[in-house]
């Protein structure tokens, strides 16, 4: 039995002092969810248990003290940094949770230009870090759409990926070492080396843990030379979506590494590009050293032009479009205004699959959503991260919320669409989440996703969090309704 | 039946224009907007949504409406016409012109006027008070003059008052005014914050998939108004002089500021 709400706050104040322990009602409400429930957020409706406190930590020692206290008293802790999560990972699913916020741990500790790696505290905003590095002719190569909001700890915790991933990789390819605090207050550091062969790569226990195993306090990521003057953009209209997948695959298996390789279906293309003319759109960006960039762009152009039904477009259209891809506070405010005015809401869900199934996942998912979801105004998607063996699919969907209270929107629409997407991904052998994380929303499908390897995830959870205090409900659902898993 | 015609324009989304491109445009004298995505002119978008609300109200009161939509833009505007068809606009036409219409309000108004006469008569014509790129504010007045219609500008709402009149709310000198006006009427919709065009469902789109987007040749009508001709372009001199005031301390500097710069211009 956990202690009372008042005792939790008192205990936290004893550790951190009053200034770092926030109990303001509005802050607590806003901290009870994330953008998975953006429709509820628009209407200031809060359906999740309101946390006991939001605490702003300033050092690893403070994180350790809070986790020691929480573990001893069996209090649920929800770690966060930039508050940009979109899969319910930041929902406080249990009564009297503590939201452990690392956004004030925002120092860049070391920019090591010899070893080309930068070490930061968890609360360093990626946008600030990237802007500062670019001024020095460097880049992390990490540029997710959430860059204006996301911070380094959260980016590692969710196994994030950026728009230039085809060249630089996901965060798992960038991370060098890190520091994390486990329940009970145990601090673990993984040193910075180029590679190691010393048993399992334990960085992968921390990466993607989504706050369900530990709190990430410090990360070291690689740096690269920033040479935007060499960037080359390519764009094409393509009549057939399957041929688009084929073009992406050809580029990948021929060994070329554009930083961006995207394929938009015609619905998503129509929303993004006036010039799409009811066709799908393929676009690429090559970057890096001048000679490599030119060779990459020339080869991609040659490969793509051989694919049936392709028409090249002015590269400037692609270059200019890229300038406005990221989402910051302004876009979120604008989106809220539009949702309130129209009750039309847009959401994305991403999955991945190998080349032999991604087309099937895409086609069957779109068909099912069209047939099964009411009040749909758009369903489409794009592939934005490709690999030698497959690619992702980023489903984009909009619907009108009709005859429905804000608190009922989730089960009437959003969870229904998510379920279809996950079922089709599983059915054809793909993964239900490519880079947003499982959060609490897709945790309900974790058993089907992991299959027999769920044993390993469950064992990790039991070993590192035996008292069940770390972000309960994330990765592994708390109350799993086998008959009706998507009503929660 | 109340016949309502909406005129709208697709404009480049200037919010998406990088600062560097504005600066380059200022130097060259040519702002390139060709690569920007088009959106519905914000005043026209408000006008369209207010028209749909007018229609909702009319239907709820047992009145029949016919909604028509017309644009004098390029082919990209047909996307919006298809959306409007799905939302209940039974007439969807595009005026095709070989001429560049931006910054030529008289020519645009002539085209609209001829179209309105051909497809009319209309009980109401509704449009935005101005476009985001042309900004001339002349078109609604020219069309109303040509058709001999009462014109009200800076409209923020309108609802049916039976099938012969309309209750119009509009802004005048910062005040909100409301009056019942007999039809026919041209309404120029002004700034109506947070008014976004509703979004049709895929089923609504499918149901109107076969609706034809009509094309109307602008050259078919006569020029109704003489175009203004640009006589001269002159840069406005906005340079200002600056001076540093020396002094031992703040009091001495303030004294000099008063004596040398302010005294002569203060009452």
Chain B residues touching residue A273 (CB < 8 angstroms): 37
What's the pLDDT at A483? Answer: 66
* Across A116-132, average pLDDT: 97
Secondary structure in 3-state letters for B26-45: HHHCCCCCCCCCEEECHHHH
Strands, E assignment, A239-275: 260-264
> Where do the domains of chain A lie, and which CATH numbers do they carry?
5-101 (3.30.43.10), 108-225 (3.30.465.10), 228-322 (3.30.70.3450), 329-435 (3.30.300.330)
Report CA-CA distances (Å) from A322 to A265, A318, B21, B222.
17, 6, 14, 44
Report the candidate in B58, B87, B89, B64 with the shortest Cα–Cα distance to residue B166: B58
Please, which residues 9-28 of chain B have a Cβ atom closer than 8 Å to chain A? 16, 18, 21
- Domains of chain B in start order, with CATH, are 2-220 (3.40.50.620)
Task: Indicate whether A487 pLDDT > 60.
Answer: no
Tokens representing B223 are 């020029």
Please return the burial class of A124, using the count of CB atoms within 10 Å of its CB with bins 0-12, 13-18 and 19+. buried
Percent of chain A with pLDDT over 90: 94
Who contacts B181 (Cβ-Cβ below 8 Å, separation ≥6)? Answer: B150, B152, B165, B166, B168
Cα–Cα dist A414/A423, whole Å: 14
Q: Is B220 left (phi over 0), alpha (psi -120 to 50) or beta?
A: alpha
Residue A302: CB atoms within 10 A of its CB come to: 10
Q: Are A287 and A230 in contact (CB under 8 A)?
A: yes
pLDDT at position B27 over 80: no
- Residue B221 has what pLDDT? 67
pTM: 0.90
Among A69-78, A286-295, A327-336, A343-352, the least confident range: A327-336
First-last CA distance in chain B: 64
More confident residue, A17 or B222: A17
- Give tens-digit pLDDT for B164-197: 999 999 999 999 999 999 999 999 999 998 899 9
Percent of chain A having pLDDT more than 70? 98
Q: pLDDT grade, residue A267 (50/70/90)?
A: very high
Phi, psi for B249 (deg, rounded to 5): -150, 180
d(CA A403, CA A277): 35
Task: Say if residue B139's pLDDT is above 70.
Answer: yes
Q: Which of A146, A39, A49 is nearest to A414 (CA)?
A: A39
**Residue B225 binned pLDDT confidence (cut-offs 50, 70, 90):** confident
- Least confident range from A164-173, A452-461, B98-107: namely B98-107
Q: What is the rounded distance in angstroms from the CA atom of residue A384 to the CA atom of residue B227?
A: 49
The four Cα atoms B252, B253, B254, B258 give a dihedral, to 10 degrees, of: 100
Q: Mind telling me how many Å the CA of A341 is from chain B's nearest CA? A: 6
User: Quick one: closest CA in A to B21, which residue?
Assistant: A320
Nearest residue on chain B to A380, alpha-carbon basis: B202
Give residue ranges of A with CB < 8 Å to any B CB.
270, 272-274, 314, 316-317, 320-321, 323-324, 337-338, 340-342, 344, 370, 375-379, 398-400
* Confidence label for A480 from pLDDT (cuts 50, 70 and 90): low
pLDDT tens across A173-228, in order?
999 999 999 999 999 999 999 999 999 999 999 999 999 999 999 999 999 999 99
Which positions ≥6 away from A162 have C-beta within 8 Å? A141, A142, A143, A144, A147, A168, A170
Number of neighbouring beta carbons within 10 Å of residue B74? 14
Cα(B186)–Cα(B149) distance, rounded to whole angstroms?
Answer: 6
Torsion angle of the four alpha carbons A448, A450, A456, A462, in this order, in degrees rounded to the nearest 10: -50
At residue A204, the 3 state secondary structure works out as helix
User: Tokens 């008292």 — which residue?
Assistant: A467
Q: Which tokens hold the place of B137?
A: 């504010």
């Amino acid at each position: 039995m956990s202690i009372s709400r008042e005792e939790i706050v008192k205990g936290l104040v004893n550790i951190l002092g009053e200034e770092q322990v926030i109990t303001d009602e509005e802050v607590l409400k806003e901290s009870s969810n994330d953008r998975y429930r953006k429709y509820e957020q628009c209407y200031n409706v809060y359906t999740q248990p309101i946390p006991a406190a939001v605490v702003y930590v300033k050092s690893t020692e403070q994180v350790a003290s809070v986790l020691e206290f929480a573990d001893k008293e069996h209090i649920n802790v929800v770690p966060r940094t930039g508050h940009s999560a979109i899969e319910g990972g930041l929902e406080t699913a249990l009564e009297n949770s503590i939201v452990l916020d690392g956004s004030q741990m925002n120092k860049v500790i070391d920019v090591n230009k010899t070893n080309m790696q930068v070490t930061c505290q968890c609360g360093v905003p990626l946008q600030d870090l990237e802007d500062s590095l670019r001024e020095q002719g460097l880049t992390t190569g990490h540029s997710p759409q959430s860059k204006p909001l996301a911070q380094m700890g959260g980016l590692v915790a969710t196994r994030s990926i950026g728009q230039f991933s085809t060249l630089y990789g996901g965060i798992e390819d960038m991370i060098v070492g890190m520091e994390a605090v486990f329940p009970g207050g145990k601090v673990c550091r993984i040193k910075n080396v180029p590679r190691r062969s010393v048993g399992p790569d334990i960085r992968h226990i921390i990466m993607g843990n989504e706050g369900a195993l530990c709190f990430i306090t410090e990360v070291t990521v690689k740096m690269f030379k920033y040479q935007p003057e060499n960037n080359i953009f390519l764009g094409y209209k393509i009549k057939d979506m399957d041929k688009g997948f084929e073009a992406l695959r050809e580029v990948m298996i021929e060994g070329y590494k554009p930083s961006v390789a995207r394929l938009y279906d015609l619905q998503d293309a129509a929303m993004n590009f006036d010039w799409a003319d009811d066709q799908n759109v393929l676009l690429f960006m090559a970057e890096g050293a001048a000679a490599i960039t030119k060779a990459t762009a020339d080869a991609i152009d040659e490969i793509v032009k051989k694919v049936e039904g392709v028409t090249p477009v002015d590269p400037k259209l692609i270059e200019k479009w890229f300038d406005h891809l990221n989402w910051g506070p302004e876009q979120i405010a604008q989106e809220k205004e539009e949702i309130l005015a129209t009750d039309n809401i847009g959401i994305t869900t991403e999955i991945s699959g190998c080349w032999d199934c991604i087309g099937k996942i895409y086609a069957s998912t779109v068909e099912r959503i069209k047939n099964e979801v009411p009040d749909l105004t758009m369903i489409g998607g794009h592939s934005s991260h490709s690999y030698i063996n497959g690619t992702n699919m980023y489903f984009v969907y909009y619907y009108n919320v009709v005859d429905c209270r804000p608190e009922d929107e989730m089960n009437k629409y959003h969870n229904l669409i998510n379920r279809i997407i996950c079922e089709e991904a599983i059915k054809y052998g793909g993964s239900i989440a490519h880079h947003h994380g499982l959060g609490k929303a897709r945790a309900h499908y974790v058993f089907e996703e992991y299959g027999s390897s769920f044993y390993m995830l469950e064992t990790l959870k039991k070993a590192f969090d035996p008292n069940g205090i770390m972000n309960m409900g994330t990765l592994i659902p708390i109350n799993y309704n086998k008959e009706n898993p998507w009503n929660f | 039946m109340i016949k309502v015609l909406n005129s709208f324009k697709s404009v480049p989304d200037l919010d998406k224009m990088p600062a560097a491109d504005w600066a380059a445009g200022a130097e060259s004298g040519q702002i390139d907007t060709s690569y920007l995505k088009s959106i519905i002119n914000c005043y026209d978008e408000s006008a369209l949504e207010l028209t749909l609300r007018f229609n909702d109200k009319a239907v709820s009161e047992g009145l029949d409406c016919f909604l028509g939509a017309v644009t004098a833009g390029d082919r990209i505007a047909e996307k919006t016409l298809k959306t409007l068809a799905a939302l209940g606009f039974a007439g969807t036409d595009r005026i095709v012109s070989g001429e560049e219409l931006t910054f030529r309000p008289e020519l645009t108004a002539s085209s609209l006027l001829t179209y309105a006469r051909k497809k009319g008569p209309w009980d109401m014509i509704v449009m935005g008070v101005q476009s985001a790129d042309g900004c001339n504010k002349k078109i609604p007045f020219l069309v109303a003059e040509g058709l001999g219609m009462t014109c009200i500008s800076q409209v923020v709402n309108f609802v049916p008052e039976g099938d012969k009149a309309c209750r119009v709310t509009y802004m005048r000198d910062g005040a909100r005014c409301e009056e019942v006006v007999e039809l026919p009427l041209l309404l120029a919709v002004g700034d109506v914050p947070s008014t976004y065009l509703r979004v049709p469902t895929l089923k609504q789109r499918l149901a109107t998939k076969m609706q034809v987007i009509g094309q109307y040749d602008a050259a078919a009508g006569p020029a109704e108004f003489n175009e203004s001709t640009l006589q001269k372009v002159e840069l406005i001199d906005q340079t200002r002089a600056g001076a540093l005031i020396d002094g031992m301390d703040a009091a001495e500097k303030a004294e000099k500021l008063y004596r040398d710069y302010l005294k002569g211009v203060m009452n």
